[in-house]
Amino acid sequence: MTTPYYADDHVTLYHGDCLEIEAWLAADVLVTDPPYGMAYVSGYRDPTTRVAVAGDTSPDTRDAALAAWGDRPALVFGTWRVAKPKGTRQVITWHKTSIGPGMGDLAMPWGNATEEVYVLGAGYVGRRRQNLIATADQRGGTVGVAALVGHPTPKPVGLLEQLIECCPPGVIADPFAGGGSTLLAARSLGRRAIGVELEERYCEVIAKRLAQDVLDFGDAS
């Protein structure tokens, strides 16, 4: 049995490959921000600060994790640039309101300030609402919140809280834990969560954030 990297009354975090560590599969609801499969690199303007996302050369890792998860409820972050996961029932658009035009194709007069959340499975709760969530993006490049969090693609804890509040009851799983937003949001809502993170440097980031009980750094992941 794999020893947790971090554990408290609500959160258990494992360091390793989610395709090899099976503890997260015992959860009830999947909420995760996997590698999108688009070879994303942050800080591209400055070679000294560039950070790549592990496993981001294709959506194969995402799809393998979802295959292991089966047809249970899942909210999965992604991008229109890559094919949606099989079984997607709805797409939620996250509008990042604080980043101006965003990046995307720099030859175009329009930037890209949105990401997608794919809804799989059933059992979601709450009042009916639009499939658009507008909230601040907290990346900020190598300065601002991304630097504080220590991860290149952080998601706002407040955004994750909104998503989890609509999820069926039970334990939350995040097999691509990244900067720890899902785990922090689940704990703030009083829910148990199980996370797996491939890179030990980000496990350390998550453990420190959980231990410090600093849940949002200004609402970021």
CB 216 within 8 A of CB 160: no
In this prediction, residue 54 has a pLDDT band, given cuts at 50, 70 and 90, of low
* Spatial separation of the C-alpha atoms in residues 183 and 168, rounded to whole Å: 16
Please check whether residue 219 lies inside any domain of the structure.
no
pTM attached to this predicted model: 0.84
Q: For the domain that residue 129 is a member of, what is the CATH number?
A: 3.40.50.150
More confident residue, 221 or 157: 157
Q: What is the 3-state secondary structure (H, E, C) of the chain?
A: CCCCCEECCCEEEEECCCCCCCHHHHCCEEEECCCCCCCCEECCCCHHHCEECCCCCCCHHHHHHHHHHCCCCEEEEECCCCCCCCCCCEEEEEEECCCCCCCCCCCCCCCCCEEEEEEECCCCCCCCCCCEEEECCCCCCCCCHHHHHCCCCCCCHHHHHHHHHCCCCCCEEECCCCCCHHHHHHHHCCCCEEEEECCHHHHHHHHHHHHHCCCCCCCCC
The pLDDT of 63-77, averaged and rounded, is 98
Please check whether residue 157 lies inside any domain of the structure.
yes
Q: Which domain does 119 fall in, by range?
A: 6-212
Structure tokens at 89: 């029932």
* Spatial separation of the C-alpha atoms in residues 153 and 218, rounded to whole Å: 15
Number of domains in the chain: 1
The DSSP bridge pattern shows strands 41-42 and 6-7 to be unpaired
Please check whether residue 220 lies inside any domain of the structure.
no
The pLDDT of 147-176, averaged and rounded, is 87
Contacts of 20 (CB under 8 A, 6+ apart): none
Q: What are phi and psi for residue 194, nearest 5 degrees?
A: -125, 125
Q: What are phi and psi for residue 54, nearest 5 degrees?
A: -60, 135
Q: What are phi and psi for residue 26, nearest 5 degrees?
A: -85, -5
What percentage of the chain has pLDDT greater than the value 70? 76
Q: Is the pLDDT of residue 167 over 90?
A: yes
* Spatial separation of the C-alpha atoms in residues 77 and 93, rounded to whole Å: 10
> What is the per-residue pLDDT for 159?
92
The pLDDT of 134-141, averaged and rounded, is 58
Please check whether residue 56 lies inside any domain of the structure.
yes
Please check whether residue 39 lies inside any domain of the structure.
yes
Q: Looking at this protein, which amino acid is placed at residue 127?
A: R
Please check whether residue 221 lies inside any domain of the structure.
no
Q: Is the pLDDT of residue 185 over 70?
A: yes
